[in-house]
């Protein structure tokens, strides 16, 4: 998908009720993020997964470049969140 297609798909999902999850560090998050985003750093996600929502909640996940969001997407899918969309980079929002 092109960055434009990623953006359109992510925005549609979030408008439809998906959680927008930022897995960057709190410092990166404070430097700028989309308004509806929640920040749970990828290294804290295993302990904080309940904060995402009940299993089955649709999730759009992103980081700075795509590495951490891919890790987070895999973790979420393994923990009962089958509907995960990896936006890759916050720049794609």
Angstrom distance (rounded) from CA 64 to CA 89: 5
72, 21 in Cβ contact below 8 A? yes
CA distances from residue 56 to 19, 24, 72 in whole angstroms, order as listed: 11, 22, 15
Q: Which residues are catalytic?
A: 63
């Amino acid at each position: 998908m092109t960055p434009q297609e990623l953006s359109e798909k992510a925005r549609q999902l979030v408008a439809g009720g998906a959680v927008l999850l930022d897995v960057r560090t709190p410092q990166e998050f404070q430097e700028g993020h989309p308004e509806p985003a929640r920040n749970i750093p990828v290294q804290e996600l295993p302990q904080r997964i309940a904060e995402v929502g009940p299993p089955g909640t649709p999730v759009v996940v992103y980081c700075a470049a795509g590495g951490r969001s891919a890790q987070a997407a895999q973790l979420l899918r393994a923990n009962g969140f089958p509907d995960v969309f990896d936006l890759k980079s916050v720049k794609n929002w």
